[in-house]
Chains A and B, each alone.
Chain A
């Protein structure tokens, strides 16, 4: 069945460092792909999405490109802030349901 694999956390970075969180997927067809962010004690917020191959989703300085060839949707940000500390989930849409990766915890130190 469809699945999503994320790089393991926690990831610890200094403020203004470059961020990459890897995400690869296995799916039949070409599902929509998403990144969600969860701040401590809260629900998930949609960060960005891409609906087809080569689409780039972007929001709040974060970007991810839908790569069909490598079945990947890696999340990047050029300069992280302390306020970016959260858990990030990669997900794909399977028949109307979201399949989530295991989540990657990001901690940004001042």
Chain B
């Protein structure tokens, strides 16, 4: 139980284009989903918290117009990196939390490379 999927697992895009990453909770309903960014050999940096049916809450320093988050249903959240640049290349990981529980279940991550 508590499986989270991400799609795609890897994506390469050209500078200036937009990329959408999907995060799905497969066997549970997630009222809250989180998006993280991880640089090589480093810890996870929380980008934003996404609650179903409401606007995402972004962490300080994260550009909300660049990283668009939509949490349209209890099983799906999407992250769109708009006008991507090489410095946006990173490993993006989502997680989901079951209502009333405090642990998070993580997706397998998406490796984004912007050329």
Contact = CB atoms under 8 A, between A and B. Distances in A.
B42 interface: yes
A102 interface: yes
Given A34-B103, A46-B103, A96 B97 contact: yes
By size class, the interface of chain B is 20 to 34
Given A97-B49, A102-B43, A42 B97 contact: no
A89 interface: yes
Interface in A21-51: 32, 34, 36, 41-46, 49, 51
B103 A44 contact: no
A32 B97 CA distance: 14
A58 interface: no
B55 to A, nearest CB: 16
Nearest to A6: B43
B29 to A, nearest CB: 16
A13 B7 CA distance: 35
Nearest to B9: A41
A49 B103 contact: yes
